Structure formats: structure tokens, C-alpha cells
Amino acid sequence: MDELIHADAVEKHAHLPNLSSMPYLGQADTFFERHLLSDALVEPATAYQRQRFEAMARSVRDILAERWIRTQRTYDQANPKRVYYMSMEFLIGRSMSNNVMNLVLDRFIESTSREANLDWLDLLEQEPDAGLGNGGLGRLAACFLDSMASMELPAMGYGLRYEYGMFRQAIEDGWQHEQPDNWLRRQDPWEVSRRGQFVEVKLGCSFEMHQGALTIIANKPSTLIGVPYDRPIVGFGGKTINSLRLWSAAAPDYFDFQEFSSGDFVGALVGSIAAQTLTRVLYPDDSTEMGQSLRFAQEYFLVACSLADLLRRFRRDNDDWNELPNKVAIQMNDTHPALTVPELMRILLDDVHLGWDQAWDLTQRTLAYTNHTLLPEALEKWPLHYFRQMLPRQLEIIYEINRRFLDDVRNRHPGDDKLVERVSLIEEGHEDKVRMAHVAIVGSHSTNGVAAIHSELLRTTTVRDFAELYPERFNNKTNGVTPRRWVRLANPELSDVISEAIGNNWVADFDQIGRLKPLADDAAFREAFLGAKRHAKVRFASWLKESSGQIVDPDSIFDCHIKRIHEYKRQLLNALRVIILYSRLRANPGMNMAPRTFFFAGKAAPAYKIAKLIIKFINNLALTIEKDPLVAGRIKVVFLPDYCVSLAERLIPAADVSNQISTAGFEASGTSNMKFMMNGALTLGTRDGATIEMAEEAGEENFFLFGLTAQEVSDGRGWYNPYWHYENDAETRHALDLIAQNYFSANEPGAFSALHDVLLKNGDRYMHLADIVSYLNADEALSTLYGDRGAWARKAILNVAGSGKFSSDRAISQYAEEVWNMQPCPVL
């Protein structure tokens, strides 16, 4: 068994470590049986699939345990600089197959499955997605953890252990319904509770359950307990295994029963139930500021637990506080963890008793901030009274930071009161608020955007004043995604074709993917490449049929638009395109048009009415087209419910076309655009976010770019008028008229009038109508190309070959070098 695994691993991945030091592999299948017997207490032959999944996960954990501990020991001994990635979201997805891949245990799985008579693929379906995030921001954090471990960086992720992750989306009668995601209902086999390493968090308020909801009782100080749960983050090759540490809230009496003996027994019990509610649920909104006190408490809880934990580790290994920035880097993923600034200051001032200047210097040099959005409605601002109630001391500190900062601004720009008002950490108004982005920029040494255009707009528009005050703090780190999960694991067909051609080092060294470039002109390689795509499409079609009964034609163009539903992402623009193509086909059934399947998927924030109506609209559009015999077999619309990491992993390998059509200047980066590119889809896209850089890398001639530029969008703000397009373009007018005439809502008259209003009467903020004609032109060029299989394959191969830059390994190596100033710490 040992021999088998290692011969294979070493041959396939010459650069990988020799795993023969792993003691357990020889008896792996007995392991599996033993877990069934002793954990689940069942006869292996009669076990349920879920029990088998758990036993297998435990067996894999047994195998990685020794490396996991060794990684920690290595860090403890070497005392390297460590990076802590702080994020309110980690959209991890499933872990089993990812861990098996990164540990190079394929052969072990094969033989165990054979000996235990397991259906491995079915077993994988037993694992729920760990959906601890909304979308791109949370998935980025997960890809970054994979890259940090694969690149042997001493890193740790810090987040919250939500008992309920992102809601499950059900579609009923076309409408989105939200169902709770009780992903921990059955014990998660990967997590390890570290109750011994609990931390105390002191708050200026208490919590109480009030009519089923958690409410905050001001001026009644309380203590919460943070209990860490660790999940292994396996680096590729299995050498380094880092941890993702998620905090769960508990009440002190959970640990200390004294309160019960002394005080109010019932009161203490109710209080404990309330406190544990704090980490119960993820807020399911990714684009507007929620402005709820519980979310504020969650953010502080993450920051307070993580800082206490990492400073305890720092103190264990270092006795000079001046070493902090040399030993610790903290990356704040958006402003959600920006309370790190006043909390670290509080600790250094009040607990460590440093002077202000020294504390401030250490804080700034330790912290760095990543901005993820230019949308003003998504920039966090917390009402002062939340601070007064919960964090009075941190508020004092923010005032003092602000006083000193504004003094400095006044010195440098005497008399410019407007500037002072604009940059102040406090926004004065009807209700005073703390501007968290300002706190994060002032309190750190690095602020980065997530794509070149985004970083540029950040500097020149959103926080221009700060970029002028502190130009040296601003930088760009274009996002990336891990090629392990998104190509090797999700797309075995394509992976084999690539490895056949250039060897398999691309998995760990994704720059090598560029070696495919000359093969774009190789007829045999094109053939193999198209074969892999066709195979992935068939695989997706049969999954869809099996899981939902829906039938799609693998010979049609798979045209995909999957991401959160938001007006700026313009699912409506895509829907208008479909209406126009549909209308053309109806008007001229003999026309030559390659059969197409339009896939949509995405969740809408539960409170975002228009987004939910867009989902209903797409579903009605699908039904209208489905029922029309004139277009049968020519076009089809499918709305896939419950978009999540696992669904993305299924669909993206099968995609021919990737729609990345946000209004230019609104999508910070995008990351699904990169996943599609790596999987050989062609992009129909606007010049926005990282799509601009993707086209640069692959060559614009291999992209289908269209629409207004960010500059044109911003210039057009003053005079743009959707009615002009309505009146001057017959197809646009016809599409809008169909909506107004209830063509897609015959039984629900007026159902979509709000969408019609968004596009016309209310001014079309996201300029859908300005881009329709150029979208259709790009679409036509693309579908014509589809008819020439060789030419299509050539462009698609050049896209894959040009995607090297978009590995999260590249992004992480830039962070490590330019922001964190840290080196790998290999585990021997």
C-alpha cells in the first residue's frame, strides 16, 4: 500500500515531498473500519452512507494529524513571522476531496473504496458545503488559505463558527425562498474543538433573548467566552498543514458554574443562552451595510478573540513588544475586522502600558487592509451609540486617533476645513457614525484594492484624500483563485489533457500553464481539449438530469452567468439579451443560430426586493421559452437553485461562455471570471475588475469585450437617458414592451413593472440600455465563432494558457513580499 501511493505520488509530482514517513497509510482500510466500529458503533456492512463519510473523513484526518501537529511544532520552534488572515467569511465548500487531493491520497482512496466496496463519488455527496460566506469575498479568503499552506507560509485564518451558514435557496413558483443552512446538525468530522484555549471577551453590554430575538442591554457589562474550533488547511503535497481557527460564542457559566451558585440562577441561564446566540448565523448580505447591532457585536467578537489568541502566542515566544511587527502581520479582509485598530491600541495601552506613540507605531506596522468595494452603500459606518453601549473604551481611543490624525491634516493643509470633514473618522449627521474604512486606512501601513482598475479608482475617487495624504500606503493586489480546487479537482478531464501535454507541475506552479500557448495551433491538442470540454458538459448534463430531472443538450452552447444577484452585476442585461435573441428566432425561425443553453444561478440578499424579483423574472423567462414550440431545441434558460461552491465546481468546467457584464467601474475584481478562464470558457465581458487584466494576459483578440468603459460610465452620469435607447433601438424597445405587456407574466399581470421602472422610469442607474447593442454584437461574434470548432478551441486554449497570473499563489506571493514582508517556513 505504502509503495503504491508513493511510487505514484512521486512519479506524478516529482516536486512533492516523500510521504512515506506517514505512519498510518499501510493500514488505511482497517482505519476506516475501525472508525465505523468504534465511532459509529455499526457493522461496516450495514453502515449508512453518512456514517461511511464520517469514518472516511476521520481516516483522512488520522493521516494528516501527524503533519498538522508537526507544522505547529515547526512554527513554535522556528518562531517565524506569521500572518493572520482575519475575515468574517470563509466560503470553504467541501473539504474531503480537496484534502485527499492535496495529501495526494488518490491511491489510498482507490484501494480503500475497492476493499470496503464504497461508492466514492456518492460518499462525497454526503458532505455539506461549509457555506460560511456570501460570495466572492469569502471564497477569496478560502483560496488564500489554500495558497498560503501550499506555499509553506506560517499562516492562520481567523473567522467565526456560524452554526447557520449562507441560507439554502429554494425556488418555488419562480421565487426565491430562504431555508436555514443547519450544516452542523451532524458533527463535522474535520473540526477540532480547542476548549482549553478559550478566550474571554469583555463587553460594555449584555445580551438577552427578547421575543425570540437577541437584544442588547446597554450599560450592563458582561463577559463572553470564545471557544476556538480548528480546521486543517492542507497545503498541496501535504507538507504544511495550517489551521483555520473559527470562534464560537459561549457564556462564562459554560465554563464556570460559580455564577449559578451565587447569583440569579434563571437569569444566568437565560443570559448564557443569549450569549451563545451571537455566532449563530451569518448575515446574508454581501453588498449593503447591514447596520445591525448584532453584526457589530459579531465583528468585535471576531477581533477580540483573535487578537487575544495571537498576542498570547506572540508573548509566549517573544518578550519584546517592539518585535510585534517583525513577528506578526494581520490582514483585514475588508473593514469587517477593522475594530482590530482600536482593540490592538487598547491592549497595548491599557494592558501592556505602552505609551501612545509606541502603541500607534506598532499597530500601524502590524496591520494591513484590503478594500473590496467602491459601492458607497457597502462601506461600513457604525453608529456611535453602538460603541457607547458596547465598546466605550474603544470609542475613546478612536476619538484620540482622530484628534491626532486631524491635527496632522490641519498642519499639512491649513484652513482646509472641507478636507478635515471629508477624512474624519467620524461622520457627523443626524446620527454620528464611525467610518470604518477611514479607521482601517489610518490605522494600518497598507491599503490595497483587488484589481488594477479597482485600486486606481480607489486612489482617484473613493478615498482620494487618503491616497494624497499617504500615497505610500496604497497598492494593488489583483485577486486570484486556487488552481487546485478550481481546475485539478473540479475538472479532471481538462487536467489530464493539460498534464498529458506539459506534465503536471502546473498544479503547484501555475505559471507553467503558459506552456500551453504553442499548442493552441496543434490540431491533436485542440481535439483533446474539445473532447475534455464535451466530457465535462455531458457529466454536468447527467448530474442535472439525475438531481432535478431537467434536460439540457451538451451540444448546445453552455452560456453561464453565476454570481450573487445584484443590479450592478446586471443579470437583467443578460435577460434582455436572451429576450432579444428569442424574439429574433421567433421572427425568423429559419435563421442560423447555434443551439444555446443559458444558465443562471445566484442568491439574492433576503431584504433586496429587486434582486429577488430578478430571480422570479429569469424563472418566468425560462418558462415562457420552454413553452414556446417555435424555439424548441434552439434556446433554453435554466435557473440553477442554491448557488454554492459545489455547484460552481460542477458547472464551470462545463461552461463554454462566461458572462462578466457588470457596469464598468462597479465590480472590484471578480473571481468567477478567473475560474471560467482557467477552465477554457470564453468571456463575454465588460472592461471591469480583473477581466481587464485577463484580456491583457490572453490578448484582447481572444476576448469578447464590449460596452462602456468606467470612464464613460462616470462621464455619462450627468446626461445618460435610458429613454434615448428605448426610442432609438427597435430591439431594445420591443424587449421592454414585452415586459410591460406581461408577455412573461400572463398570469401575474404587473409582476415585473418594478423591473421595467428600474430600466426606464427610474433612470437605469447601472446603464443596462447603454450596453445592450454592443453586448449583442459581441455575442454574435462569439456564437459565429462556435461554428468553427478549430478556431474556437484555439481561442479557448489561449485563454487557459493566459490564466497563469490569476492563481491565488501569485496573489499570495505578492502579499507576502510587498505587504507582510515574510518568508516561507518549510516543515521538514
Ligand X SMILES: *Cc1c(COP(=O)(O)O)cnc(C)c1O
Q: Active-site residues: which are they? A: 372, 563-564, 569, 671, 675
Min dist CB 85 to ligand X, Å, is 17
Say if residues 583 and 630 touch (Cβ distance below 8 Å). Answer: no
Write out the three cell numbers for 64: 494528516
The Cα–Cα gap between 361 and 445 comes to 10
| Three-state DSSP state, 319 | coil
Identity of the residue, 204 or 670, whose beta carbon is nearer to ligand X in the bound complex: 670
The Cα–Cα gap between 828 and 152 comes to 11
Q: How would DSSP label each residue in 614-653?
A: HHHHHHHHHHHHHT-GGGTTTEEEEEESS--HHHHHHHGG
Task: Give which of 203, 222, 298 is closest to 267, Cα–Cα.
Answer: 222
How many Cα atoms occupy the beta-carbon half-sphere of 454 within 13 Å? 27
Say if residues 525 and 501 touch (Cβ distance below 8 Å). Answer: yes
The Cα–Cα gap between 136 and 142 comes to 10
Identity of the residue, 485 or 794, whose beta carbon is nearer to ligand X in the bound complex: 485
Identity of the residue, 495 or 672, whose beta carbon is nearer to ligand X in the bound complex: 672
Min dist CB 640 to ligand X, Å, is 12
Identity of the residue, 127 or 253, whose beta carbon is nearer to ligand X in the bound complex: 127
Task: Give which of 498, 533, 503 is closest to 801, Cα–Cα.
Answer: 498
The Cα–Cα gap between 254 and 506 comes to 49
Say if residues 692 and 453 touch (Cβ distance below 8 Å). Answer: yes
Min dist CB 324 to ligand X, Å, is 34
| Three-state DSSP state, 699 | coil
Min dist CB 601 to ligand X, Å, is 9
Min dist CB 644 to ligand X, Å, is 5
Say if residues 157 and 141 touch (Cβ distance below 8 Å). Answer: yes
Min dist CB 671 to ligand X, Å, is 4
Identity of the residue, 109 or 614, whose beta carbon is nearer to ligand X in the bound complex: 614
The site for ligand X (CB under 6 A) is made up of: 91, 135-136, 139, 563-564, 643-645, 648, 670-672, 675
Min dist CB 505 to ligand X, Å, is 25
Written as one letter, the residue type at 715 is D
Write out the three cell numbers for 107: 491511491
Write out the three cell numbers for 435: 467610518
Q: Name the H helices within 226-355.
A: 258-262, 265-276, 293-317, 324-327, 340-346
Identity of the residue, 529 or 643, whose beta carbon is nearer to ligand X in the bound complex: 643
The Cα–Cα gap between 47 and 53 comes to 10
| Three-state DSSP state, 374 | coil
Identity of the residue, 564 or 768, whose beta carbon is nearer to ligand X in the bound complex: 564
Identity of the residue, 244 or 645, whose beta carbon is nearer to ligand X in the bound complex: 645
The Cα–Cα gap between 324 and 77 comes to 17
Give 700: exposed, middle or buried? Use CB within 10 Å, 0-12, 13-18, 19+.
exposed
Min dist CB 132 to ligand X, Å, is 12
Identity of the residue, 5 or 142, whose beta carbon is nearer to ligand X in the bound complex: 142
The Cα–Cα gap between 654 and 679 comes to 8
Identity of the residue, 462 or 672, whose beta carbon is nearer to ligand X in the bound complex: 672
Q: CA–CA distance from 342 to each of 370, 385, 434, 720 (Å)? A: 17, 16, 12, 43
* DSSP-assigned letter for residue 707: S
Min dist CB 683 to ligand X, Å, is 12
Min dist CB 672 to ligand X, Å, is 3
The Cα–Cα gap between 732 and 769 comes to 7
| Three-state DSSP state, 478 | coil
